[in-house]
């Protein structure tokens, strides 16, 4: 049974790379209905083969049908190929191995990607998966007790890339920073600044046991005693100059360090739409209201003079204390209140990018939200947890900062290797994997440095186009038929994979996939550049090659934008 292209509802020459995969899937589904009309809920897998020798796409559909049809998979594959509708995008099909069907795309299908890229420009790779739905990405959320360290930097890089990816795939994104400005750590900060105000040093026997020892504490104390003003929440907080006024010291120290962290983030090209304060959850009664609602839900009990939440009813390994004997709340209680607030603000989706040390709070927060029974879906919110970062220089670990004392700050890295390398290196690995940040590699202007390697590919294309001196908009109408060389076909295939890579990176909350893709794309471009001349005498060949590398420039630029890394025109 041969089905017509009209039956498959194909719009000729308007197929995007993602739609091309859907197109092939539709052809296979139609063929499967012809070969196995009684087969319901058919599962079809269409993937890119690891080797170009095996075509552009491959499917194991014949082997999937073999058990039901009780036939040899290769026989089923032959029947499927005979039933496939014809398509201008498929040059040929082949049967391989035990019954795989390999698809080889036509030159028209491969060349079409250039036309799409040149037409879409900065929008290339974007889609509308999110359909304008609201998503909040909370990230960094550092305690305002000191400069941001390199771990915060990794959270900032990953979180900002997630926000960029979600925005590129059609979500309405809100970036939010949550300040833990209440609790014991802020008490320790206040005591530390007070000691510095009185002229004490960490070596003094009266220094607080859990006090902060970095030189930045001296800076805070000096500004407080000089009655300087710092901005926080659109208001000025002025130092009182009184070393005994603990409330004034507390307010000033938090405002001072919030300003410092904000300056660090701006230097890192990270910006937020909303800043939330833990203290506000208490002052506005949201913590008390959440506790009241949890008690009313019937999922709490009192034991040993403490209030407990039955988190075991929601998947936890044991119940958790909510309110301690001394009347204070355990740390996950305000987190539950904060997420209730997020839900009430109308975020359909919430993603928390945090350090791996927050892993233990996930089940408790979700249990608290489910216990409230206010319509929050199970598994809400999503979490992306990043592992630690080890900073290396000269083969040895760098452990301390001149300013912070006990750790490497984000500003240290930016000053050492620059914004681009810092952002790329912190986002270029899976968030849940340990990261070694090699300062020497990040500073190197060699192909071993991946960010340099990618940016150099973009700069090389810009150099070629500048030497040509023509109008790149005219390349949209170039004859692309000369693009038949292996390097050209490899580059075309890589370009066609970009939209799906962006989709997958957003869906899987994995910005490192963009970094991997860009490195592979840069490798294809450099190989092509080293093997062929672009500005050849043959005008048709020249314009075709310039159209191809211009498309590659767009993909490199758009991918770097998703990582927050610049795309220089000269290097």
The per-residue pLDDT for 2 is 41
Query: Exposed/middle/buried for 375, CB within 10 Å: 0-12, 13-18, 19+?
Result: exposed
CA angle, 424 as apex, 419 and 428 as ends, to 5°?
160
How do residues 148-169 score in pLDDT, each as one tens digit? 999 999 999 999 999 999 999 9
The per-residue pLDDT for 50 is 82
Token pair recorded at residue 495: 């370009």
- Residue 381: asked if its preceding bond is cis (omega within 30°), the reply is yes
Ordered alpha helix ranges (H), 121-245: 150-168, 184-197, 215-225
Handedness of CA 499, 501, 507, 512 (dihedral sign): negative
The per-residue pLDDT for 3 is 41
How do residues 493-523 score in pLDDT, each as one tens digit? 999 999 999 999 999 999 999 999 999 999 9
Phi/psi zone of residue 481: left (φ > 0), alpha (ψ -120 to 50 degrees), beta? alpha
The per-residue pLDDT for 234 is 74
How do residues 311-327 score in pLDDT, each as one tens digit? 999 999 999 999 999 99
Q: DSSP letters along 466-507, please?
A: HHH---GGGGGG---TT--SHHHHHHHHHHHTHHHHHHHHHH
- Separation of alpha carbons 562 and 544, rounded Å: 28
The per-residue pLDDT for 183 is 83
How do residues 215-239 score in pLDDT, each as one tens digit? 999 999 999 999 999 987 778 999 9
Section 100-124 average pLDDT: 93
The per-residue pLDDT for 5 is 42
- Separation of alpha carbons 160 and 340, rounded Å: 23
Phi, psi of 392 (to 5 degrees): -120, 145
- For 55, 94, 236, 244, 272, the CA distances from 230, given in Å and listed in that order, are 62, 70, 6, 20, 19
- Separation of alpha carbons 194 and 204, rounded Å: 13
Section 174-182 average pLDDT: 94
The per-residue pLDDT for 16 is 58
Phi/psi zone of residue 142: left (φ > 0), alpha (ψ -120 to 50 degrees), beta? beta
Report the first-to-last Cα separation within the chain, whole angstroms: 58
Instruction: Provide, rounded to the nearest whole percent, the portion of the chain with pLDDT above 90.
Output: 85
Token pair recorded at residue 64: 């999937």
Listed residue (491, 504, 486) closest to 553, CA to CA: 491
pLDDT band (50, 70, 90) for residue 404: confident
Average pLDDT, the chain: 93
Question: Do 438 and 392 meet the contact criterion of CB atoms below 8 Å apart?
Answer: yes
- Separation of alpha carbons 326 and 332, rounded Å: 16
- For 268, 409, 421, the CA distances from 441, given in Å and listed in that order, are 19, 18, 9
Domains and CATH numbers, the chain: 17-105 (3.30.1360.70), 121-129+447-563 (1.10.730.10)
**What is the β-pairing status of strands 172-179 and 90-96?**
unpaired
- Separation of alpha carbons 147 and 141, rounded Å: 12
- For 49, 302, 526, the CA distances from 520, given in Å and listed in that order, are 16, 58, 10
How do residues 361-388 score in pLDDT, each as one tens digit? 999 999 999 999 999 999 999 999 999 9
The 3-state DSSP class for residue 399 equals coil
Q: Which residue has the higher pLDDT, 401 or 442?
A: 442
**What is the β-pairing status of strands 172-179 and 134-138?**
parallel
Model-level pTM? Answer: 0.91
Section 50-70 average pLDDT: 89
pLDDT value at 396 more than 60: yes
439 sits in which H/E element: helix 439-443
Q: Residue 205 half-sphere exposure, CB side, CA atoms within 13 Å?
A: 0
> What are the helix and strand counts (H, E) for the chain?
20, 17
- Separation of alpha carbons 34 and 295, rounded Å: 60
Section 202-215 average pLDDT: 93
Listed residue (479, 495, 482) closest to 549, CA to CA: 495
- Separation of alpha carbons 378 and 365, rounded Å: 11
The per-residue pLDDT for 4 is 44
pLDDT value at 6 more than 70: no
The per-residue pLDDT for 34 is 93
The per-residue pLDDT for 416 is 95
pLDDT value at 209 more than 70: yes
pLDDT band (50, 70, 90) for residue 82: very high
Question: Do 189 and 176 meet the contact criterion of CB atoms below 8 Å apart?
Answer: no
Listed residue (208, 132, 140, 131) closest to 177, CA to CA: 140
pLDDT value at 279 more than 50: yes
The per-residue pLDDT for 264 is 95
- Separation of alpha carbons 319 and 93, rounded Å: 59
The per-residue pLDDT for 91 is 92
- Separation of alpha carbons 43 and 359, rounded Å: 35
The per-residue pLDDT for 44 is 85
């Amino acid at each position: 049974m041969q089905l017509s292209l009209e039956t498959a509802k194909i719009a000729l020459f308007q197929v995007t790379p993602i739609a091309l995969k859907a197109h092939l899937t539709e052809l296979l589904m139609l063929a499967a209905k012809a070969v196995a009309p009684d087969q319901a809920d058919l599962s079809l897998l269409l993937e890119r083969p690891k080797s170009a020798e095996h075509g552009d796409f491959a499917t194991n559909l014949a082997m999937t049908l073999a058990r039901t049809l009780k036939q040899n998979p290769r026989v089923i594959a032959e029947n499927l190929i005979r039933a496939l509708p014809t398509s201008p995008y498929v040059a040929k099909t082949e049967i391989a191995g035990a019954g795989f069907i390999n698809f080889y795309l036509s030159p028209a299908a491969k060349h079409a990607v250039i036309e799409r890229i040149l037409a879409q420009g900065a929008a290339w790779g974007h889609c509308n998966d999110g359909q304008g739905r609201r998503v909040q990405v909370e990230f960094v959320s550092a305690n305002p007790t000191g400069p941001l360290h390199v771990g915060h930097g990794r959270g900032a890089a990953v979180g900002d890339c997630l926000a960029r990816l979600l925005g590129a795939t059609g979500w309405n994104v809100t970036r939010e920073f949550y300040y833990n400005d209440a609790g014991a750590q802020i008490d320790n900060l206040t005591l530390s600044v007070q000691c510095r105000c009185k002229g004490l040093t960490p070596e003094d026997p009266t220094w607080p046991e859990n006090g902060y020892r970095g030189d930045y504490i001296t800076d805070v104390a000096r500004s407080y005693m000089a009655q300087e003003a710092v901005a926080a929440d659109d208001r000025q907080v002025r130092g009182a100059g009184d070393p005994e006024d603990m409330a004034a010291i507390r307010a000033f120290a938090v405002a001072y360090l919030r300003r410092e962290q904000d300056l660090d983030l701006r230097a890192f090209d990270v910006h937020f739409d909303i800043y939330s304060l833990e203290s506000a959850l208490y002052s506005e009664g949201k913590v008390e209201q959440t506790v009241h609602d949890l008690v009313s839900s019937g999922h709490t009990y009192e034991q040993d003079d403490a209030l407990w939440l039955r988190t075991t009813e929601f998947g936890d390994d044991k119940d958790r204390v909510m309110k301690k004997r001394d009347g204070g709340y355990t740390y996950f209680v305000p987190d539950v209140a904060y997420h209730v607030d997020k839900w009430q603000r109308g975020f359909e989706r919430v993603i928390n990018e945090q350090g791996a040390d927050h892993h233990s709070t996930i089940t408790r927060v979700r249990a608290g939200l489910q216990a409230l029974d206010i319509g929050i879906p199970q598994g809400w919110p999503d979490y992306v947890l990043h592992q630690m970062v080890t900073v290396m220089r000269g083969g040895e670990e760098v452990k301390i900062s001149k300013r912070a004392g006990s750790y490497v700050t984000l500003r240290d890295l930016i000053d050492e290797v620059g914004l681009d390398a810092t952002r790329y290196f912190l986002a270029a690995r899976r968030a849940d994997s340990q990261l070694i940040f090699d300062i020497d590699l990040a500073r190197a202007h060699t192909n071993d440095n991946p960010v340099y390697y990618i940016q150099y590919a973009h700069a090389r294309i810009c150099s070629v186009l500048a030497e040509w001196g023509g109008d790149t908009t005219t390349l949209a109408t170039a004859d692309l038929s000369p693009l038949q060389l292996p390097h050209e076909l490899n580059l075309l295939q890589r370009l066609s994979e970009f939209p799906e890579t962006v989709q997958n990176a957003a869906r899987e909350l994995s910005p490192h996939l963009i970094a991997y893709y860009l490195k592979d794309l840069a490798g294809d471009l450099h190989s092509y550049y080293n093997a062929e001349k672009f500005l050849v005498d043959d005008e048709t060949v020249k314009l075709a090659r310039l159209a191809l590398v211009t498309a590659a420039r767009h993909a490199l630029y758009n991918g770097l934008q998703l990582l927050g890394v610049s795309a220089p025109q000269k290097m």
